[in-house]
Amino acid sequence: MKITMVKKVFADGSPCKKCGEVEEKMRAAGQLQRIDRVVIADEANDQSEGMLLAAEHNIDRAPFFIVERDGQQTEIYTVYFRFVKEVLDSETSEEEEIAEIMNDNDLDFL
Amino acid sequence: MSALPNIVDIDTQLATQSPQEILRYALETFDNIAISFSGAEDVVLIDMAAKIRPDLQVFSLDTGRLHAQTYRFIEAVRKHYRIDIDIVMPEASKVEQLVKAKGLFSFYEDDHKECCGVRKIAPLRKQLLTVDAWITGQRRDQSPGTRAAVPVIQDDKAFARPDDSLTKFNPLANWTSKQVWDYIRDNNVPYNELHDQGFVSIGCEPCTRPTGPGQHEREGRWWWEEATKKECGLHAVNIAK
Ligand code: SF4
């Protein structure tokens, strides 16, 4: 299995806060060593590797994870807690999961 | 139920269609599909869907903080369309914990996320585990800043069951508030009496207020906070070199 993490850099060069938070969480949980490659999606450069990967897989959010397994279809994870559960076989708390859902999705219509 | 073949292609096809056509596609494609009804002008979805498929599954999130008028309206809709509406409630122990720790109006001091998390999102999540697809009244014009890209169909990864998929339909995404209200009047659709009192957007009682002329409807919700900014989007920006 090969895992690629794509993180974003804003057009002004500043790092994406959520990407940093996810990376920090993964570091604290010892999950970062499971990532084979970290690739940057530079919003100022649509030819950057991360932006090309985002376009190839129709992804419009960051960070995201590309999971390649021999003989299987490549899987893309844009939701961190799903990636942690389904790929890394680790647990996350319900509070964390709800916080992620609320941060990343516009649910104000509810 | 597995994922639809290609959500992006279907979105492109459906994007130019009417809400009724989008609803028909949704209701004919999925057996186990439910409408999320907030007790506001999204009643048009029920009116349209009832004409397509009478065995509708509808649910409403009862946060415990809705206006009395909204409860009356949900009941009126249930009777008018002769449908069951699942009233989905938060877990009592979680609400008790929150209220004990932070009181009944924590959202005015922190922000609305914690309370909405307990009272809306956790129960919604539980409810959505029981279906293959859901339908919302989300529209692009409700919050221009954050909803510029409301597709009519989405692969809803946030609420899907583990290792499964969930499809979300937003048939009203491309309609304006005026189109919704024209439909309500033209079809004699019942509506929440709060709309006649100046409420454009209707949510929980403590977090909703009427808006005046020229105000955006989002200003009637959580007005003490800045409109939510989502920074996880990925957009190429053209930089002048
Ligand atoms: S809208 Fe207000 S009262 Fe309702 S769940 Fe959210 S914060 Fe709580």
Q: What is the CATH number of the domain that holds B126?
A: 3.40.50.620
Beta strands A64-68 and A75-77, pairing class: antiparallel
Q: Could you list the residue range(s) of the whole structural domain that residue A86 is in?
A: 2-109
Buried b (16+ CB within 10 A) or exposed e, B172-184: bbbbeeebbbebb
Q: Could you list the residue range(s) of the whole structural domain that residue B114 is in?
A: 7-197
How many domains are there within chain B? 1
ipTM: 0.82
B206 lines ligand 1 (CB under 6 A): yes
Is the separation of the CB atoms in A67 and A36 below 8 Å? no
Q: Is residue B206 one of the residues assigned to a domain? A: no
Q: Is residue B179 one of the residues assigned to a domain? A: yes
Which range (B13-22, B25-34, B143-152) has the least confidence? Answer: B143-152
Q: Is residue B28 one of the residues assigned to a domain? A: yes
- Can you give the pLDDT at residue B230? 55
Select from A17, A78, A110 the Cβ nearest to the Cβ of B124.
A110
- Can you give the pLDDT at residue A108? 82
CATH code where residue A77 lies: 3.40.30
- Please tell me the distance from the alpha carbon of residue A20 to that of residue A12, in angstroms, as a whole number: 16
- Can you give the pLDDT at residue B190? 97
For residues B94-122, give the mean pLDDT: 95
Pocket-testing residue among B38, B65, B88, B201, ligand 1, by greatest number of atoms within 8 A of Cβ:
B65
* Shortest CA gap B141–chain A (Å): 11
Q: pLDDT-based confidence at B228, cuts 50/70/90? A: low
Q: Is residue B15 one of the residues assigned to a domain? A: yes
Is the separation of the CB atoms in A47 and B239 below 8 Å? no
Residue A62 forms contact with B (CB below 8 Å): yes
- Can you give the pLDDT at residue A109? 83
Q: Is residue B78 one of the residues assigned to a domain? A: yes
Phi/psi of residue B110, nearest 5 degrees: -90, -105
How many domains are there within chain A? 1
- Residue with the smallest CA separation from ligand 1 atom 2 is B207
For residues B199-204, give the mean pLDDT: 92
